[in-house]
Amino acid sequence: MKRITIYDVAKEADVSLATVSRVINDSNVVREDTRMRVQQAIEKLGYKPNAIAQGLALSKTTTISIVMSEKLFAYNAKILNGLMDVAKIYNYNIMFHTTSKGISKMQDVIESIIKSRVDGVILFNDNFSEDEMEVLHEYQIPMVVVGSKLKGQKIGNVGNVYINFERMAYEFVNECFEKGIDDISMVEDKLNLSMMEQLKAGVDRAYAEKGLVFNKYVTYDDSYKSSYTFLSDYYKRNKPSRMVITFRDSQAIALMNACKESGYSIPDDTQLVCILNSKYLTMMRPMISTYNIPEYDLGAVAMRLLTKMLVDDESVKQNKDIEISFSKMFRETTK
């Protein structure tokens, strides 16, 4: 089957290619009977417009790049659903890029983004530096960062849809204080350092306001293959804090198992809150307390913001920062 072009359709319908183009793009200056003729020719030949040629002619690809850390695929699934659904609504294609330590450095990803001439970029706030954003900005590519709040001075052309993790942690710690709990520890998640940083800032602030110092930020090095091996080791030697905050479900579950195996009871000896929700938290016994973050909305709002920036940058000039609210979903590991 030969590649059908707009010329073939034009010949078949006995019109010029301009008319075919008008039909494709719903221009309303086409007479009804010629439109019909063209439509029939399109059907008959199975013609599909060449998006590449359209992109070249219009300097617009109707394509948006999404950049995500390879390791966070599974965890960002719902955000991605939100992104994809909205992109679909606005008829944008999605170019998908992943970053990892070995093969695909952020620099290479940026290179291919620029070459692809995508209309915009969605960045997950866990895997890029300010320099890299600066490069995209030099090439005038609008972007939206999703996840946590950007720090540093704002670069133009950048939107930000985020959860206020600093406030989340601050409020949570204060609630703990009110219940008389001030022995709190927080387990680091190496996959999401920017969010950890903000959480820690919130905890620090709450402690500082009480004239205390937070010093139970639990980190472990890569010699431990997983947080589980570390934690089960740790809780054999250390008594758990009365309240532990983890970021990710696997850490919460690891901690739960480690505590149980070391003879500690949850929530009686130690309470547990996992920042990121997941269905696995409710599958555990006791069911693990968490925060409810509207992940789908995070993605949907981010993509909607980007599409707005694309069609009319003025209308969103003032409010490119959108904070998404969260709520508590405390279950059986807290009391």
Give the chain's length.
335
Contact flag: residue 332 with a copy of itself (CB under 8 A): no
The values of phi and psi at residue 93, to 5°, are -80, 160
Instruction: Measure the CA–CA gap between 77 and 295, rounded to whole angstroms.
Output: 9
Dist. CA 201–CA 172, nearest whole Å: 12
- Please give the torsion angle defined by the CA atoms of residues 283, 289, 293 and 296, in that order, rounded to the nearest 10 degrees: 10
Q: What does the buried/exposed string (b/e) look like for 82-106 if buried means 16 or more CB atoms within 10 Å of the residue's CB?
A: bbbebbeeeebebbebbbeeeeeeb
Q: Does 273 bind a copy of itself (CB under 8 A)?
A: no
Q: Which does 46 bind (CB under 5 to 8 A by kind): a copy of itself, DNA, none?
A: a copy of itself
Which helix (H) or strand (E) is 214 found in, with range? none
29 near a copy of itself, judged by CB under 8 A: no
Task: Choose, by CB under 8 A, the member of 31, 115, 225, 237 that binds a copy of itself.
Answer: 115
Position 189: which residue type?
D
Toward DNA, which CB reaches closer, 46 or 180?
46
Site string for DNA, 49-88 (x = CB under 7 A): xx-xxx-xxxx-----------------------------
Instruction: Report which of 145, 118, 130 is spatially closest to residue 302, judged by C-alpha positions.
Output: 145
Site for a copy of itself in 132-161 (CB under 8 A): 138-140
Interaction of residue 31 with DNA, rule CB under 7 A: yes
Q: Which residues bind DNA (CB under 7 A)?
A: 3, 5-7, 14-22, 24-25, 29-31, 33-35, 47, 49-50, 52-54, 56-59
Q: Which residues bind a copy of itself (CB under 8 A)?
A: 1, 3, 46, 48-53, 55-56, 59, 61, 63, 66, 70, 73-75, 77, 80-81, 84-85, 88-89, 93-98, 100, 103-104, 108, 111-112, 114-117, 138-140, 228, 250, 253-254, 257, 260, 279-280, 283, 285
